[in-house]
Amino acid sequence: MAIIKPFQAIRPVKDKVSFVASRSYQEYSRRELNAVLDFNPFSFLHIINPGYKYAKNVSGQERFKLVHNRYLEFLEDSVFLKDDKDSLYLYQMQKGSATFTGLFCGTSVQEYRHNQIKKHEDTLQHREKLFANYLETVKFNAEPVLMTYADNKTIAAILRKEMQAGPEYLFTTRDKITHRLWTISDSKIIGKIQKAFKEIDSLYIADGHHRSASSNLLAENAEKKNPTHSGKEPYNYFMSYLLPESEIRIYEFNRMVKDLNGLSKEEFLIRLDEFYRIENQGDNDYNPSKKHHFSMYLDGEFYSLYLRKKVYKFKDALSKLDTQILFKTILEPILGIHDLRKDKRIQYGSGKHNIIRMKDEIDKGKFAVGFGLVPITISEIKAIADAGLVMPPKSTFIEPKLRSGLAIYEL
């Protein structure tokens, strides 16, 4: 059963929404970030970069307090207004042939704790604490967790009907993405959507594991401090964007390693031969096309690597994952990389033309070898989550990447 909660969002006024909405802070280069802050006074980036106002870099608790102050200023200046009714927010992003249509809503920390909201990534405790402290200080949630659910005809039909009306927001951003948002405030329609979601067994986190974990930690801390805790307080929920699994787009991360762990090229290829049938593909860009097949770029040439399935044994959903296979057969035993999160000898790349970028980086001598994979599927993600297992880091690059500041959930 999936519980979803309508809420009274804090939203940009219609004539400023295109200026307010921003990509995630980490996606901006320093030059682009400075340009936005210099020339767009309404950008949500001003809230999460509060020191810009004083030409000062701020961090820690000082930054958190200033974020809260900048948020209050946007409210005071009527850049943001609060809806007067509990609502669900139907939000669509469209770029070229790709369309993403989902719902902003509140999701339950209780369901997160009881594994009805399912995870496939580990989180770091210090980051959980940091983000929970951030949420407690700023008192709002502006970056939704991206979750997915099994396609549902009832939900799809309701959303299609709602989209027949003109959207509340309609704007296009510089990256050629068209954004539309509808407000669903009719209690009968909300009830139908909630009833349909109750028929769905589980929600799966696609992107935002640390945001989910920190919201849960915030709720645990708030509950301990609240002698009249009822379970209905805002901190018992966190904002999510729910998208049917057929609309999730999953891309791969390539792996690049700085050296061959003391091996010569010939010694390295001989070690690979234990688990792979190796074919030299020359200097033409080569991408793998099947599960358990990999591309490798080494010393100016591409190779195809075909897993010897009689040698490598599948034990569970994790062992079948290509990122895990690469780790267990090459990265750890041959290249000596034991901690994929901390080892500085390995780096990751993603994107449409990443095989070309990987080749360029290796040709420049920054890395010795690179590996390409096929994307992981949503079925594999669900199998990992259902089994309570954890993927290796940088296993998936998932779209859509959501805008910040379109709908804000107050804690």
Domain ranges of the chain: 4-249+399-410, 253-374
With cut-offs at 50, 70 and 90, classify the pLDDT of residue 352.
low
Is the model more confident about 101 or about 340?
101
Residue 80 has pLDDT above 90, yes or no: yes
pLDDT of residue 232: 92
Question: pLDDT > 70: what percent of the chain?
Answer: 99
pLDDT digit string, tens, across residues 239-266: 999 999 999 999 999 999 999 999 999 9
pLDDT of residue 197: 97
With cut-offs at 50, 70 and 90, classify the pLDDT of residue 52.
confident
Largest CA distance in the chain: 69
- The whole-angstrom separation of Cα 53 and Cα 108 is 36
With cut-offs at 50, 70 and 90, classify the pLDDT of residue 137.
very high
Residue 351 has pLDDT above 70, yes or no: no
Answer for the pair 106, 6: CB distance below 8 angstroms, yes or no.
yes
What lies within 8 Å, CB to CB, of 152 at 6+ separation is: 196, 199, 200, 244
Mean local confidence (pLDDT), 146-150: 97
pLDDT of residue 284: 86
Could you tell me which residues are beta bridge partners of residue 294? 305
**What letter does residue 65 receive in the DSSP assignment?**
H
User: Residue 45: phi, psi to the nearest 5?
Assistant: -60, -25
Neighbours of 353 (CB within 10 A): 9
pLDDT of residue 58: 85
SS3 of 410, please?
Answer: strand
pLDDT digit string, tens, across residues 305-344: 999 989 999 999 999 999 999 999 999 999 999 999 889 9
Count CA atoms within 13 Å of residue 401 on its CB side. 12
Residue 66 has pLDDT above 90, yes or no: yes
Count CA atoms within 13 Å of residue 242 on its CB side. 31
Q: What is the pTM of this model?
A: 0.92
Burial annotation 49-85 (CB, 10 A radius, 16+ → b, else e): bbebeeeeebeeeebbebbbebbeebeeeebbeebee
With cut-offs at 50, 70 and 90, classify the pLDDT of residue 212.
very high
Which regions of 86-222 does DSSP assign to beta strands (E)? 88-95, 98-108, 117-118, 140-141, 145-149, 169-172, 178-184, 203-207
Residue 218 has pLDDT above 70, yes or no: yes
Report the chain's mean pLDDT, rounded to a whole number: 94
Residue 236 has pLDDT above 90, yes or no: yes
Answer for the pair 193, 184: CB distance below 8 angstroms, yes or no.
yes
pLDDT of residue 353: 65
Mean local confidence (pLDDT), 89-95: 97
What lies within 8 Å, CB to CB, of 12 at 6+ separation is: 19, 20, 21, 42, 79, 80, 405, 406
With cut-offs at 50, 70 and 90, classify the pLDDT of residue 159.
very high
User: Residue 183: phi, psi to the nearest 5?
Assistant: -100, 125
pLDDT of residue 122: 87
